Structure 1
Amino acid sequence: MKKIALAAAAAMMAAGTALADPVEGVWQTQPDDGKFAHVRMAPCGPAFCGKIVRAFKDGGNEYKSPNLGKTLVIDMKPEGGGAYKGRVWRPSNDKIYLGKMQLNGDRLALRGCVAGGLICSKQTWVRVK
């Protein structure tokens, strides 16, 4: 009985690892107003959210931003083929936009749009780990 329980536990752990979404992990944003961040992407319900875990300014010097711990990527739902839809927050103007992400290996292209997608801003993030 003990062997069966151990085998079941090992199988569940292996399945959990295999089922991790490739967008999960830490990503580095592009500079915005001279600052950039590391954002941890993780599941949040049926979607993915990204929280700021480190902040940098002045050519890469880490600092204690008031935005640490805040959610930058909000409820991004997978749509298949590396595409996600949700919302994104831009700290420099404190606005939330309709968002899209497209994962391509260790690059994550993000778009934040207003006016039904007519006006968009975009960034490409790179995977940190």
Structure 2
Amino acid sequence: MKRLVMAAAVMAGMSGAAWAADPVEGVWQTEVDDGSFAHITMSPCGEGFCGVISKTFKEDGSEYVSENQGKTIVMDMIPRGNDEYEGQVFRPSNGKTYYGTIGLEGNMLKLSGCIIGGLICAKQNWTRVE
């Protein structure tokens, strides 16, 4: 009986760890791009993580309703270890999707979107809001 209780305790501890949130989850603020910035809500999707525009702001910080709210701009970011992720990013200002990577450093996401096999990349640093 003692072994059964110990085994149950170990399994409960392991299942709790499996339910722990990934550090990339949460709300992140983008840098200003084409005169505005956004809050992106990162959450699990499929085997990875996706980011949806949850709020939009003008460069002066005033909130407004953008046609892009609700759009997924980070898609299928698969964890690759060492707080690095790989997937796709969508840039609403030009309507293009790019190969993307994320590097997580504390409360900052270092996001990169690239073309031509990574030869040309645009980068942004996002800061954690929540």
For the aligned pair, the TM-score class normalised by the smaller chain equals 0.7 to 0.9
Q: Which residue pairs with 2:110 in the alignment?
A: 109
Q: Which residue pairs with 2:49 in the alignment?
A: 48
Identity %: 57
**Stretch of structure 1 that moved more, 93-102 or 16-25:** 16-25
Structural mapping, 1:1-129, within 5 Å? 11=12, 15=16, 19-129=20-130
Contact 2:29 2:127 in 1 (8 A): yes
With normalisation by structure 2, the TM-score equals 0.87
**Kindly tell me: are residues 118 and 128 of structure 1, through their superposed partners in 2, closer, same or farther at Cα, counting changes over 3 Å?**
same
From the CA coordinates, give the structure whose radius of gyration is larger: 2
TM-superposition CA deviations, 1:5-59 (whole Å, max 9, x none): xx99xx58x8168521000000000000110000000000110000000000141
Moved over 3 A (4+): none
Query: What is the CA–CA distance in structure 2 between the aligned matches of 1:94 and 1:16, rounded to whole Å?
Result: 38
Query: What is the CA–CA distance in structure 2 between the aligned matches of 1:77 and 1:17, rounded to whole Å?
Result: 16
Give ranges in structure 1 of 5+ residues lacking alignment. Answer: 1-6
The alignment of Structure 1 onto Structure 2 pairs a total of residues equal to 121
With normalisation by structure 1, the TM-score equals 0.87
Query: What is the CA–CA distance in structure 2 between the aligned matches of 1:72 and 1:61, rounded to whole Å?
Result: 21
